Structure 1
Amino acid sequence: MGARPAGPACDAPGGRSGAGGPAGPGLGRDLGLGTGLEGGRRRASRPVRGGRRSDQRFGDTDGQQGVIAFAECAWRVLGRLTADPDTELHVSIAGGRKPAAALLGLLMAVLGRPQDRMSHVIVPPEAAAAGLFYPSAGSRIVLTPAGDLLDAAKLTITLIDIPFPRLARAAAGPGGVREFFERLSQDGQRARLVLDSASGRLMWDGAALRLPPAIAAFVGWIAREQAAGAPGVPRVGAPRAGYLAAYRTIAGEDARLRAEKRLSDPLDPEWMEEKAARTNKLALASGVRPRGARLVQADGGRARAIYRLALDRSEIAIAGTEKGSVSAGWP
């Protein structure tokens, strides 16, 4: 959903579908994106404008009525989309309509859920002036207003994730304003990932996160490192001792000894990469997407990558330690 469309035609039928505008159905066609079910969650590969998969355009938001109309439209569309727990919403603030962008940010704070994302597309000035919004799959030469030739296939754009508070759960609770702010305070202090130091078991947002022992150990290992203030674990040169200690907690000493015979020291970079990829696949299947991102992130170039969890240090708790004094009902 982009911030550019606005106006009173939110639920009006019509609009243009097909060739459309800057990032309409042409985007999916050019980049080979489909629609349908992926990983058990419904995804829309085309912009949702006015609650319809179309290239419907609205009026300007420069006037007060346009701003109000856009706010009403966005409230209805976002409310409908976030009401479905099987959706993951990616709101893209793309375009130059600052009132619409501000309204989208506010509405996402009120309605957004943990799996939803908000981003902003940065397009080079010369490309924006030429009416380009994404790199084309094949060569496409356009003339910029300055008279230069530009190949859309060589266009580079930047997608910036925009963090935002998620107030929906707190707002839905009972009571008045005082209770609302109390719930906000409690949510801000609650860790999203809790690691039981005695058993190695994991909890995500208060529910048991069931992963195979090798993967749970990998997550627990990184969680311990980050909770201790480290940036994560390196893809290249990571000592196996930290992983084996986490694995022993979960699978026992005999399993640790068998793993020790199989694993090199330091751990093989390809092994690290495979574990990170499998962790993300299983986490996604369990609905674990912190702020819409993959659970395990790789910072830096591939050779110097640092694997970390996509969580702030305050969002990780180690139960059984002072930092992890979290009331958790372990299954």
Structure 2
Amino acid sequence: MSGVGSRRVLLVVTGLSPQVVTETICALAVGHAGQPPWIPTEVHLITTTRGADNARLQLLHPVSGWFHRLRQDYGLPPIQFDESSIHLIERPDGTALDDIRDDDDNRLAADTITEWVRRLTQDPDSAVHASIAGGRKTMGFFLGYAMSLYGRAQDRLSHVLVSSPYESSPEFFYPTPQSQVIRRPGSANEVLDAAQARIWLGDIPFVRLRTALPRDMRERAHIAFAESVRAVQASVAPSLVLDRRQRLVLAGGVAIRLEPADLAFLAWALQRHLEGRPLQRHRRLNQAEARADAQEYLAQYARLGDDPADTDTRTHARLAKDRGLLMGFFDERRSRIKRAFTAALGEGRAQPYLLQRTGPRGGSEYRFSLDPSAITLR
């Protein structure tokens, strides 16, 4: 029966030591520290060409592969893991990396890892368990960060730990249920029994920021790691720049263009926010507060034009007819600004930039949740 977790995915990054795959599967499937078994239905491995060669020969070889031996030793059900499950870190021209040596290689690794995390967490029926134990340290960091960016409530992050001296033995792949003699690391004559090894799975709590990402970034393929980080940063630490000369708003670095009447309303509302004066909706004609608000708004509107003395506009005519800035004009501007910000940023990410109503109906005030220090009016 399908449902959340019916597809259980183990995602691992590795370098030249693929043992982390079998060690993690063993810890998950056999159980650890009183935890119930969690048997993956599929395994995905992200690595370089050298790491892929080691994984194929040491894990997936049809005769001596340790992945097949693990399943047989512990009677595990079928787990989808073959050469198609090994994903290489590639350059833009399609050539694969044999190692990670410089900043460009690190960027490619980050983008590849992020894309696979995004892809695997897109399926609502999947539960992803990611292990950061293998590969270079930067690979583990990128995997943990990608899980923070895209991970959901059902997803987990861990690091497998192996007792000494087994953790440094190239011949150790998991604690065997029967005695298995392997060489002691650094010694030509001493041996160890793999059955005596102990493994632990250290669960790593992580902050889930998925809802801070715009929906299109969660669904669109090949989003760069740096682009995802910038999007979340803009969401958790929003900033807004209103440039009157350019007639442009930058919300978290995203450019949004508004019609002059809407831009002037936003400038007026932000200026009031900086002064600690919330906005109100006025219902009655010729009310003193409505007339005062209209004059403040028109002063902002004039600053957008080439000729501040030019008052022959539909906006001026409408406010003059209403003898003030009334709720119809207020609601229209607020609604149009909301649509523009939501279209550019997504509903969740747009919220800090939108006027929010506070207080009871009838005496309601409107204000921003943005910290004034995050607002720049040019």
What band does the TM-score fall into relative to the shorter chain?
0.3 to 0.5
Higher-Rg member (1/2): 2
Taking structure 1 as the reference length, the TM-score comes to 0.42
TM-score, scaled to structure 2: 0.38
